[in-house]
Structure 1
Amino acid sequence: MADRWYVASALLGREDMAELNLNRQGFHVWMPRQTRVVRHARRRHEKRVPFFPGYIFVSLDVDRQRWRSVNGTFGVNSLVMQGERPLPCPDGLIEGLQALTDDEGIFNVAVGLRQGDVVRVISGPFAELVGTLVRHDGLGRARILLQMMHGEIAVALPVKSLVPVASN
């Protein structure tokens, strides 16, 4: 059996420690990150934080590797299990997420979006509506033309609330 991706539950706020310790043991690990603006004492700074807080992805061959040592790694609670064995991620899920990661390792849905793409809104008051991407500003905002009320209406939405519609 070849390597598959698995999800490990990490201690909240200790994901970087879990990643470091798993790498030291020779495991191939991936943790998508996002940039968050932190305000404190009238100062703003950007901080790289996990996109999925409390979770980290580990590539394993459960038939050849000593996967139980992941559960004993400092910073890790345990692998997500199904019975007595780790539960693998669906094929292609992690690869699809990695394709949405920019050169700096930041998860950015806008990486996969281009002007003219058909997108679906996944959250907010316009959830499940489909529209055409007019532009995105690289700062997290997108302008789309939503197909509603027998026409198109221009709205500005967060890029993270959009996903590309698969073309047939």
Structure 2
Amino acid sequence: MAPPAGPFESTPVAGGLLERVRAVVSRYPYGVVLPTGSELARELGVSVNRVRIALGALEAAGETVLRDRVRRFRLYPHELHPMDTAFDRAVREDIAQQVYAPGTALPAGLLGRRHGVAPQHLGRACRRLIADRLVTYRDGPAGPGYYLPDSTPAASAQQRRGTDGD
């Protein structure tokens, strides 16, 4: 089960516009300033508002970042969005300190509020945690959400080595 896709899929511009904008953006190297929404709209022959919605979806997915409210950049595939740094660090520290039991739900919404991650950006904020197998997105006892694996990566490694961690 994939994390929630975000608000873009429910908008009237979903069609193929997101993929068209993504295709244009993907022609630019990572870390380079992207064209403005107006420039992309002209190139694609659609309204600026529709392109801005698509760009917002790319940012919510962690593919781009808007800096200084003006310049948009393409993020590297495993680069953490700047707005998610505190969230990512806090979750990693909590997992390392065993604040959450294996298999339990991560209080992502609460952590998001605490660290300035909007609800629609939780998927983006958890992307690296999922890639590093520290968190999964699945249906669980508390419903769909972000969960810790049934065992931590460190515990699994210790079990494979046959040590008890002492």
TM-score of Structure 1 vs Structure 2, range by shorter chain: under 0.3
Higher strand share: 1
Q: Which structure carries more helix by proportion?
A: 2
